[in-house]
Structure 1
Amino acid sequence: MDISSPLKRATRRSRLLGASLAAIGMVAVGMAASLPALADNTTPTYQPWTGTTQGKATQKLIADLKAKIAQAEKDQAGSPDFLDDLKKSIAEFEAATAVSQAQPFLDNFSDGEFATNPTWKVTAGQWQVDKSGSNRGLVSKIRQGGNLNSLLGNLLNQQGQQQNSNAQYAAIYTKAKLPGFFTASTKFTSKDRYGGLQLALYQGASAQNQYRVAYQPGNNQAFLLQKVTASGAQTLGAYNGAVNLEDGKAHELVMTRDSSGKMTVLLDGQTAISAADTSLTGDFDGILVTNVGGSYWLREVAVKPLQ
């Protein structure tokens, strides 16, 4: 992206805020060969080998290690820091194993609808697929914006509400088994310099836990990276400065999280936010997109594993 890009221009006006157990390592190497490959659009000739015997042996090893650590803590037979490191290594190994069972996700709405393959469900406002003109994709238009931080939970249980032109926000989601360490992205076009667009990976039937990235056109904090729980929304990082993407071009907004909890937000390949959080663990249950004011055309939504 050249010097004339929106993020480059805004950068001139502002600044960005900004081992493992040897035994477990050996098990991880062995497990890599036995885990099923991530799903794609082709039909496999053979069914994935699940490695039942090795899987049971791994589970027993992990259970034995946990038992020995617990006994060592009880008997005060080891350094507390060392034992904490062992427990952390086991937790990281278990999380990495769980992630390998999650699936990548991609929808570019090229089929002209969002009701099937995959299934998106509208919970507020109006959404449709526009296949014509320079602006195309999954489109939502809201004349006035809602409160970003008030949109915390229960967005998945609002079906049938606010299905009118005066809605203060529009929300749509799809269920999918997604990795806890990920690259989540959307390619979109924005028309109005107000309101905002949110892309979130959520956990739970009511999306009570989320990691989300928000674009706020015209705002002095153009991008926010947030964690959402039942306690509310916590801002993990922000881009301080206004960025206007309303230039008729498609832009890519990316949110990443690696196995150490390091998170980044990128606009068109350039880092806007760097932060870290490890409090949400395990896989995610789906994707939630929310329009809190403005007109947006989502050309693509994608999630893939990031180790």
Structure 2
Amino acid sequence: MTELSHPFLHRLSLGIAAATLLTGAPLASTTALAGTLGAPPPAMAAPGAVQLAFDAEVQRIQHGLNRLGYDAGPADGLMGAKTRSAIADYQRDHGLLVTGQASASLAEHIRGQVMEQRSERRADKPAAAAESEAGSSTSAETAQQAADRQSILQVQSDLRRLGYNVPVVSGRLDSDTELAIRAYQKDHQLLVDGRLSPQLLAHVHDAASREAVTEDRETVRKVQQALNDRGYDAGPADGVMGGKTRDAIRTFQSDAQQPMTSRIDGKLLSALGLSAAGTAAAEAPAGPAETPATSESQPVTVLDDHFSDGDYTRNPRWQVVAGSWRVTDGGSLTSDVSAGTSAAPQKLGPELLKDLLGNALGVPSPQQTANLAAIYTPARLSNAFHLVLRVSSAGSPATLNAGPYQGSNVGYGYRLEADVGQSQPLHLLAITQNGTTVIGTSDANVRFDDGAKHTLDWRRDANGLNTVELDGRVVLQVLDRTFQDPFDGVSLVNAGGTWSIDEVRAESLTP
């Protein structure tokens, strides 16, 4: 095992140090941090704790969330469970780090969305009046005029609760909402026209009501305990529905192939072996984490995506951190990054950290589409895992970095890096907040840009032995025990060139 000694390590270390300061990760010296900032860091509330003191910033956030259709409860300036839940939903919908906590940057982000909504509303009024005078409004515009804002808010909220992709509850009949309506109509064998009618409103609301479960404190506590028992970190079983609990619910729903709503519903309770009242159900749980008692643990598939549905935003939902991604007609997740500005793989660490810092602070980061594209999906993966990638590249030089991540930074974890135009085309890295270590390299004779699809098969056993196969032959094998805890998801980073990914599959090899 060798330490990375070129300028990449120095730059990455600086980036990680910055990430540690801004994201609140543990530091080697609290005194050093206080000296750097000129004042001691603010005290953080314990997870799940309810802040009872009035806070004007919290009140502004509550006002904004309620305007945008997120139910934050009364705008009283008190940070309760309902406000935290609304904040977490908003952060999740806008691609921000889900913390469920109030901050000045979050308040500014919400204010921007409110202002944008007002501008769009003003712009819509003259256009609607002109269309009315001309008598030539389209059927979609007529539907929007006929349905009042409250009805649209209701159907958007109900569709989201049922797992349909409505990114923002805005009260406007936008294209995303129309697509969600069409998907609902198709799933329920209704006339697929994307229109909002009183009959459809009633149908969707009835379906959502059947799925709804009151998130009372006792039910939440039982769900938290059941998730923790299955290895999903829902935080303390205190009955408070915070961001950590919703993230654990979402990951479990993904593993169980349920709609990823991050909410407690009948399907979730059934899979966890609970009833609506929070007590154990009579039938055996149907959750994915329950495995037969055998002498040897069976692999559990936590992620399997071939992108054949043409949509990376659902089933499972991949979230873009930086750059641009798309699914081609052939079913490949594809990204293009200018190799001229990002050929050197040492740019990967600092650029990725810079983008992640923006999300950690609750504001969108500048998208580095010219030199970096990063995407990830949450998936609870054990310390012993099996990861399969089917990839191809176009052009040289090009760099793809992939692997399981830990924590809120999708760049921390084990990373398998494939390079085009390098004498050593494969590198296995361990990246932590303390630095980057190259734990193995391979000089396998392969050109990822030869027009063929190449399969990378990476297996790590419970003892820490990493074995990487390329197209069926072992090209790298190394023992490393840097990471002992489970991983939180899988991320892909394009640091140069054009890359297409046809398959991403991840299995947990231990309970």
- Taking structure 2 as the reference length, the TM-score comes to 0.40
Which of residues 304, 311, 315 in structure 2 aligns to 1:117?
A: 315
Evaluate the alpha carbon distance shift between residue 158 and residue 196 of structure 1 in structure 2; reply closer, same or farther with a 3 A threshold: farther
Query: How far apart are the structure 1 equivalents of 2:256 and 2:484?
Result: 25
Contact kept, 8 Å, 2:371 with 2:496, in 1: the verdict is yes
Amino acid at match of 1:148: P
Evaluate the alpha carbon distance shift between residue 35 and residue 48 of structure 1 in structure 2; reply closer, same or farther with a 3 A threshold: farther
Which of residues 283, 296, 302 in structure 1 aligns to 2:499?
A: 296
Query: How far apart are the structure 2 equivalents of 1:35 and 1:129?
Result: 33
Query: How far apart are the structure 1 equivalents of 2:421 and 2:286?
Result: 52
Query: How far apart are the structure 1 equivalents of 2:332 and 2:465?
Result: 31
Question: What are the Cα deviations for residues 81-114 of structure 1, in whole angstroms up to 9, with x where unaligned?
Answer: xxxxxxxxxxxxxxxx9x9897621111111111
Tell me the equivalent position of 1:148: 345
Question: What are the Cα deviations for residues 132-186 of structure 1, in whole angstroms up to 9, with x where unaligned?
Answer: 4xxx411001112254344346454455445365x21110011111111001111
Contact kept, 8 Å, 2:397 with 2:497, in 1: the verdict is yes
| 1:126 and 2:329 aligned | no
Tell me the equivalent position of 2:476: 273
Query: How far apart are the structure 2 equivalents of 1:110 and 1:250?
Result: 16
Contact kept, 8 Å, 2:300 with 2:507, in 1: the verdict is no
Unaligned runs of 5+ in 1: 1-33, 51-96
Tell me the equivalent position of 1:60: none
Greater fraction of residues in strand? 1
Contact kept, 8 Å, 1:35 with 1:49, in 2: the verdict is no
Question: What are the Cα deviations for residues 197-217 of structure 1, in whole angstroms up to 9, with x where unaligned?
Answer: 111100011236310101001
Contact kept, 8 Å, 1:225 with 1:265, in 2: the verdict is no
1:206-225 aligned at under 5 Å gives the runs: 206-207=409-410, 209-225=412-428
Tell me the equivalent position of 1:204: 407
Evaluate the alpha carbon distance shift between residue 230 and residue 150 of structure 1 in structure 2; reply closer, same or farther with a 3 A threshold: farther
Compute the displacement of 1:41 (Å): 4.6
Contact kept, 8 Å, 1:107 with 1:302, in 2: the verdict is yes
Query: How far apart are the structure 1 equivalents of 2:380 and 2:230?
Result: 16
Give the number of aligned pairs.
222
- Taking structure 1 as the reference length, the TM-score comes to 0.64
| 1:193 and 2:396 aligned | yes
Compute the displacement of 1:218 (Å): 1.3
Amino acid at match of 1:48: P
Query: How far apart are the structure 1 equivalents of 2:358 and 2:328?
Result: 24
Tell me the equivalent position of 1:77: none
1:81-120 aligned at under 5 Å gives the runs: 104-120=302-318
Contact kept, 8 Å, 1:123 with 1:158, in 2: the verdict is no
SS in 1 for 2:420: coil
Query: How far apart are the structure 1 equivalents of 2:394 and 2:304?
Result: 24
Contact kept, 8 Å, 1:210 with 1:227, in 2: the verdict is yes
Evaluate the alpha carbon distance shift between residue 48 and residue 263 of structure 1 in structure 2; reply closer, same or farther with a 3 A threshold: same
Query: How far apart are the structure 2 equivalents of 1:185 and 1:253?
Result: 6
Query: How far apart are the structure 1 equivalents of 2:357 and 2:324?
Result: 16
Tell me the equivalent position of 2:285: 48
Query: How far apart are the structure 1 equivalents of 2:337 and 2:484?
Result: 33
Tell me the equivalent position of 2:189: none
Query: How far apart are the structure 2 equivalents of 1:122 and 1:41?
Result: 21
Contact kept, 8 Å, 1:215 with 1:224, in 2: the verdict is yes
Contact kept, 8 Å, 2:343 with 2:397, in 1: the verdict is no
Higher relative contact order (CA 8 A, sep 6+): 1
Evaluate the alpha carbon distance shift between residue 269 and residue 183 of structure 1 in structure 2; reply closer, same or farther with a 3 A threshold: same
Q: Which moved more, 1:38-47 or 1:101-110?
A: 38-47
Amino acid at match of 1:288: S
Question: What are the Cα deviations for residues 62-97 of structure 1, in whole angstroms up to 9, with x where unaligned?
Answer: xxxxxxxxxxxxxxxxxxxxxxxxxxxxxxxxxxx9
Query: How far apart are the structure 1 equivalents of 2:445 and 2:358?
Result: 32
SS in 1 for 2:392: strand
Query: How far apart are the structure 1 equivalents of 2:462 and 2:456?
Result: 21
Tell me the equivalent position of 1:177: 380
SS in 2 for 1:151: helix
Compute the displacement of 1:228 (Å): 0.5
SS in 2 for 1:282: coil
Compute the displacement of 1:195 (Å): 2.0
Contact kept, 8 Å, 1:140 with 1:291, in 2: the verdict is yes
Contact kept, 8 Å, 2:299 with 2:508, in 1: the verdict is no
SS in 1 for 2:386: strand
Tell me the equivalent position of 2:454: 251
| 1:137 and 2:332 aligned | yes
Contact kept, 8 Å, 1:125 with 1:162, in 2: the verdict is no
* Percentage of identical aligned residues: 29
